[in-house]
Chains A and B, each alone.
Chain A
């Protein structure tokens, strides 16, 4: 019955929060390419939100622009979410593959991205008295994406509602663990690097006499 293009499927998922992802799974649809484009646009939306928001609404520390935290907050968080969810749900008898988790998660991020971009555009026309629209868009984007995310994970792993919520909370814990270990690893490698560099300097001095 449902015959859509990949983008059509995306639209179907977003506007049918209850059945959309089930249909997607049943029809074995979903494109990794589109998922990656969405993640890229998540990053773009975050940069736009920080830099292009109208002056009267922009409370960011705009003196310095550093893109790394934004990459971490969008792309890195997304992949940690996928990895964390995959690790947790493999243990909790989820049916989703890593590929499916990545695609479904990315699809459910679309309302957040769209609302953020619309918000950025609006903030350049509105004054603070009308900030209720901005707030409304923020909540709309966030709420919609969370609902979609719950539905996506439920359809992906074929869980009950309660189990989905538990798995998502556990995923957040797993994300924390992953990030912690990553930072630990990073600092350890840095120390190894410094150690090797010191040995090199030492030897270099000796050779030069």
Chain B
């Protein structure tokens, strides 16, 4: 009995141990957000994560403590802070593979290598003037002369845009200073540039606070060229009502009314082709939220031309845990060298990624959870892309979050790249792999449908387009399918038509002779009067 009991005990303990072994805890850090995208009806549908959080990099990780070390070549001052302080802008220079950060509240510009290690720091110019809240930075190698590396800084508090030559890790040689244009065209009292870009001809575009006619444009020699690509006034009920009131109001009343002016840009970026992409922090996803401007300042992504470009979250979102409603406020845009467009939403902390043709690819990042968690933001200020990674800089957590591609993301990007080049058949196996990972990803079905259409398999293409609910492509495939159907069944159709025509002809002949197939009950004159009521 005793032996039996102990045997049972040992057996139990053994089984428990085996069970415990087999149930090893899978420790993994899930992203603090759920990935989703929008379908045809603008409903959000769940999707796979295309990006995962790789790491966050603080000022200390970058090596900013070197700036206060007198022995270091990058020494700025004894009191130089080792953390970032409200960094407002980040720029990635694709030629040099270097990051530039406008460390706004520390009044300095930081230069980092592609691993985000500090390689340069600048707090003043060669003429001795120090930066005051620099909030925008842009770097481009000049095409002129001996091709110097030029840096453009939106020196916010100093009311100037500075163009300087990068001489060394700590020295900037001032080349040109762009201050408030002294013409009647420039009507705003202040000149507070917050963001700056320059094109290949070294025209400088600056976004200035409270200038709503567009970006202020200077040419290479520093002359004010005018405004570039103004936003339009969003047509709301209030705007229309005011327009009507103005018809009846007296001049005094009109002067007392608020004017309806367009919202100024929040930020912009320039791509290899010289197109400037702008974002506006307006809570409307269709009017000028994201614009692609050609060099003449004309918006290519214009919804009034009959397209349906939508950016950011379609509907504002209610967060019950914080009793707050978030609506989209797009704050930064970044065009990566592979043509993907990343748009950062300040209010929800989400990054929306689009392809060249403004088709939504994926959404990641958040703000809603406790923002101490990695990958969720407090004040996301700028987004950059490099080497399939996405970098987001936070102005309140004072760090840079690095997102790296998941397998799904890598496959999807590869397929989209092929798709955008029109190589649909090559993209086919990749799209199938994407579907294996996320069966509800609409772009994959469109891609497969286009491949099938190219290969002449129309009914298959129709199936795919129907799954993705892509009416326009379905229509195109349907046209071919119909043509094919008609060609194959032409004889049959003609025979059926001929039979019907002969039948009708015979029927009318019979009717004329007074013979009826249905005894004339349904139509024509009645044999006997049923009488009315």
- Residues on A close to B: CB < 8 A? 3-5, 7-8, 11, 27-29, 54-56, 58-59, 61, 63, 125, 127-129
Lowest 9 CB-CB distances: which A-B pairs, in order?
A: A28-B532, A56-B475, A128-B475, A127-B479, A5-B526, A29-B532, A127-B475, A3-B526, A56-B471
By the criterion CB–CB under 8 Å, are A11 and B472 in contact? no
Within the complex, the shortest CB–CB distance from A112 to chain B, in Å, comes to 21
Q: Is the interface of A mostly helix, strand, loop or mixed?
A: loop
Question: Knowing A27-B532, A28-B533, A56-B471 touch, does A125 contact B482 (C-beta < 8 A)?
Answer: yes
Inter-chain contacts of B466 with A (CB < 8 A): 55
- 30 residue pairs A–B, Cβ–Cβ below 8 Å: A4-B525, A4-B526, A5-B522, A5-B523, A8-B522, A8-B523, A8-B524, A8-B525, A8-B526, A11-B523, A28-B532, A28-B533, A29-B532, A54-B478, A55-B466, A55-B478, A56-B475, A56-B478, A59-B471, A61-B41, A63-B41, A63-B43, A125-B482, A127-B475, A127-B479, A127-B482, A128-B471, A128-B472, A128-B475, A129-B479
Cα A48 to Cα B293 in complex, Å, equals 45
Chain A proximity mask over B21-48: 1 for CB below 8 Å, otherwise 0: 0000000000000000000010100000
Question: Knowing A55-B466, A125-B482 touch, does A7 contact B523 (C-beta < 8 A)?
Answer: yes
Inter-chain contacts of B471 with A (CB < 8 A): 55-56, 58-59, 128
Inter-chain contacts of A125 with B (CB < 8 A): 482
Cα A127 to Cα B43 in complex, Å, equals 26
Inter-chain contacts of A27 with B (CB < 8 A): 532
Please report which residues of chain B, range 498-533, place their CB below 8 angstroms from some CB of chain A when the two chains form the complex: 521-526, 529, 532-533
B462 closest partner in A (C-beta): A55
B377 within 8 A of partner (CB): no
Within the complex, the shortest CB–CB distance from A29 to chain B, in Å, comes to 5
B474 within 8 A of partner (CB): yes
Inter-chain contacts of A59 with B (CB < 8 A): 471
Cα A58 to Cα B469 in complex, Å, equals 10
Cα A63 to Cα B43 in complex, Å, equals 11
Inter-chain contacts of B479 with A (CB < 8 A): 127, 129
A54 closest partner in B (C-beta): B478
Within the complex, the shortest CB–CB distance from A79 to chain B, in Å, comes to 21
A128 closest partner in B (C-beta): B475
By the criterion CB–CB under 8 Å, are B41 and A5 in contact? no
Cα A181 to Cα B432 in complex, Å, equals 55
By the criterion CB–CB under 8 Å, are B474 and A56 in contact? yes
Cα A63 to Cα B521 in complex, Å, equals 44
Interface size on B, residues (CB 8 A): 20
Inter-chain contacts of B475 with A (CB < 8 A): 56, 127-128
By the criterion CB–CB under 8 Å, are A3 and B525 in contact? yes
Inter-chain contacts of B474 with A (CB < 8 A): 55-56
Inter-chain contacts of A58 with B (CB < 8 A): 471
Cα A56 to Cα B466 in complex, Å, equals 9
Inter-chain contacts of A63 with B (CB < 8 A): 41, 43
Q: What 13 additional pairs, Cβ within 8 angstroms, besides A4-B526, A5-B522, A55-B474?
A: A3-B525, A5-B523, A28-B532, A29-B532, A55-B478, A56-B471, A56-B474, A56-B475, A56-B478, A58-B471, A63-B41, A127-B478, A127-B482
Question: Knowing A127-B475, A128-B472, A128-B475 touch, does A7 contact B526 (C-beta < 8 A)?
Answer: no
A4 closest partner in B (C-beta): B526
Q: Which of A3, A11, A55, A61 contacts B529 (CB 8 A)?
A: A3
Inter-chain contacts of A129 with B (CB < 8 A): 479
Within the complex, the shortest CB–CB distance from A43 to chain B, in Å, comes to 23
Cα A166 to Cα B232 in complex, Å, equals 43
Cα A145 to Cα B86 in complex, Å, equals 67
Within the complex, the shortest CB–CB distance from B360 to chain A, in Å, comes to 19
Inter-chain contacts of A128 with B (CB < 8 A): 471-472, 475
Inter-chain contacts of A29 with B (CB < 8 A): 532
A131 closest partner in B (C-beta): B475
Please report which residues of chain B, range 450-489, place their CB below 8 angstroms from some CB of chain A when the two chains form the complex: 462, 466, 471-472, 474-475, 478-479, 482
Within the complex, the shortest CB–CB distance from B308 to chain A, in Å, comes to 12
Cα A5 to Cα B479 in complex, Å, equals 44
Cα A116 to Cα B32 in complex, Å, equals 50
Within the complex, the shortest CB–CB distance from A104 to chain B, in Å, comes to 14
Inter-chain contacts of A8 with B (CB < 8 A): 522-526
Inter-chain contacts of B521 with A (CB < 8 A): 5
Inter-chain contacts of A61 with B (CB < 8 A): 41
